[in-house]
Every structure is written in structure tokens, then in C-alpha cells.
Amino acid sequence: MVEKAGNEPTGKRTTSERRSEREMVITRTFDAPARLVFQAWTTPGLFKQWWVPKSSGATLLSCEQDVRVGGSYRLEFAHPQGGAPMAFFGRYLEVVRDARLVWTNEESADGAVTTVTFEDQGGQTLLVMRELYPSKEALDIAIEGMDEAMPETFEQLDDFLLAMAAGAPGR
């Protein structure tokens, strides 16, 4: 049983870095082949199970992914505070099965272009995600906005992980 009280186990740590004025880079290693990580990223039924942070309180209302070059995606969320659903959408610019995805984020005029690479390392996968913003200001605003949208506490995450660890496979 893995202890998840704030510290992630070594080797599974998510790192993030502001690589340049307009680029964020996130890395993470998964204990599964790239084929499965890619599948979990590109299959709506699976994607829904992990994309929405429990601590955000948001729920994913719908998720459409037409994963091919030029295909579009659309995610709609309901926020616990109510109001109109929030939509995130864009197009896939590059799709290389089990290896690489590039998509646009078109819900705002200053959205990033996101590139994710899945590198198979003998049964494990090194995932590198880059978000390239059109300008430094666009990235500053995105980071600031996200900060406001995220609650400070992550207690819900612990509950979630405990519940998931307790079973319920094939949810």
C-alpha cells in the first residue's frame, strides 16, 4: 500500500518547469508501456477517469475525442459553484500512435499548443508534456487563472486515492 500523504514515491514524481518565458514542461514516468498510456489518453471512457482533479470539485459532463490529424476534441465541465458549463476544445495537429500527440487549445485566443510524447523505456513510459503559449503574458495569465481556480487543499485527493486503491476496478 502506497502512502500518498503529499509525497509521491520516488521515481513517480511529477516535475514541472517553466522552460522559457512562454513554455511549461511537465514530466512523469508511468509503470506501464507507452501503448497503454496512449490508450488511456485517447479513449474517452478511460480519459474521464483521470483527467478531472478531484480537488477541483468539477465534473466532466462530456468528452469527445476524434484522435486523428485535423480531428477535434471537446471537454465540458460543470463547476460545483454552478453557472454555465465550461468548455475546452481544439484540434489535433499531430497524432503518432503510442508516441506523440499535439493539439491546440482554442477556448481562449491565447491558448497554448500542447505536445505530449510517450517514450517507452522497457515497459515503463516517460511522458513529457510541453505547453507552448503564444506570448509570455499569455502564460502568466494562464498560470494566474489556474491558481485562482484551484483550491488549496488536496485532502479530497487522498480520499480518492484511498477509495481507488480499495478496489472498484473497471469502474
Partner 1 sequence: MAQYSQSRFDASFGALSDPTRRGVLEQLMRADASISDLAERFHMTLTGMSKHIGVLEQAQLVATQKVGRVRTCSLGSRRLEEEAAWLENYRRLWAERFDALDTVLEDLKRKEKRDGRKSGQ
Q: Which residue has the cell 515497459?
A: 123
The Cα 168–Cα 85 span in angstroms is 28
Q: Give the cell for residue 150.
A: 484551484
Number of residues that bind partner 1 (CB under 8 A): 45
Is 136 a binding residue for partner 1 by CB under 8 A? The answer is yes
Query: Please, what is the end-to-end C-alpha distance for the chain in angstroms?
Result: 20
Work out how close the CB of 115 gets to partner 1 at its nearest, in angstroms, rounded to a whole number: 15
Of 70 and 97, the one with the shorter C-beta distance to partner 1 is 97
The Cα 152–Cα 123 span in angstroms is 35
Is 46 a binding residue for partner 1 by CB under 8 A? The answer is yes
Interacting residues with partner 1 between 112 and 131 (CB under 8 A): 127, 129
Work out how close the CB of 136 gets to partner 1 at its nearest, in angstroms, rounded to a whole number: 6
The Cα 114–Cα 68 span in angstroms is 15
The Cα 111–Cα 91 span in angstroms is 12
Residues that bind partner 1 (CB under 8 A): 4, 8, 12-16, 18, 24, 26, 28, 30-32, 35-37, 39-40, 46, 49-51, 53-55, 127, 129, 136-137, 140, 143-144, 146-147, 150, 154, 157, 160-161, 164-165, 169-171
